[in-house]
Amino acid sequence: MRQPSAPPFNAPAARRLRAALGMRPEHVAYGMRSSYGLPYVTPDLVIAWERGVTAPSNPELTALAGVLWCSPGELIGRPRTLREHRIARAVAPEDVAHAVGMDLPAYLRAEESGQWRGNERQSAALARVLELALPDFVAVTGREARLADLLHSAVTTRWQAYVRPVMKVAPLDKAFLEQVLQRLHQDYQGHMAATLSWGGGTSGASASGRDFLDRIVDHFWAAVEGGTG
């Protein structure tokens, strides 16, 4: 079975946390050897992690967090996958599986494949146990591509027709979502119109519009987070 890749490691955070404790790399290495049974960890390896030359594996990350008196989540970058969110919260896969009412092999398959097949109740439980914000919930349950497609259509055609479909992917208040989609539609149309000239040149407008569409999900979450003004 393929070994899952390690989560994104936050090297500056590891260096900062060690310095705050007044520890040297050799102290960290010794703690990982003596307390966590990792005899091969040397000061040079700790330095390599802190410089971003290499990244610790999952067991190494857990041990490093223990030595630095922090949670594993403080040592990784922004989680992107279901597995990375679980590790960031320092929750065992067995505990997540139990919380969502899923057998462990099925849950592990979801982490491995990146395809979440839980029902609405299980999805809500997943969001609770991993404390997922809505953008993260949409991403880890594999709905982001669907959201991008819906938003693409909403801003390029009639946004009103996509309120309910978007709500099914990203559950938000209907009135608020209507404001968000209307705002995105107006922004997109503004990008398309801004560089149109009397001479009929449209390449600039097209490029601006394509860039807006390429980042449509980011624009959507920014509008949700900031409100519509």
Query: Is the CB of residue 75 less than 8 Å from the CB of residue 10?
Result: yes
Confidence band of 134 (pLDDT split at 50, 70, 90): very high
Burial degree of 37 (CB within 10 A; 0-12, 13-18, 19+): exposed
- If you count DSSP H runs as helices and E runs as strands, how many of each does the chain have, helices first? 14, 0
DSSP string, 55-85: ---HHHHHHHHHHTTS-GGGGB-S--SHHHH
How far apart (Å, rounded) are the C-alpha atoms in residues 108 and 102? 10
Its pTM stands at: 0.63
Return the pLDDT at 228. 55
Return the pLDDT at 182. 95
Q: For 36-51, how does the pLDDT look when each residue is reduced to its tens digit (9 = 90+)? A: 999 999 999 999 999 9
Six-digit token string for 216: 């449509």
Confidence band of 1 (pLDDT split at 50, 70, 90): very low
Return the pLDDT at 195. 53
Give the mean pLDDT of 184-207: 67
How far apart (Å, rounded) are the C-alpha atoms in residues 28 and 218? 38
Confidence band of 128 (pLDDT split at 50, 70, 90): very high
Confidence band of 29 (pLDDT split at 50, 70, 90): very high
Confidence band of 77 (pLDDT split at 50, 70, 90): confident
Return the pLDDT at 7. 63
User: How much of the chain exceeds pLDDT 90, in percent?
Assistant: 57
Give the mean pLDDT of 144-154: 94
Mean pLDDT for the chain overall: 87
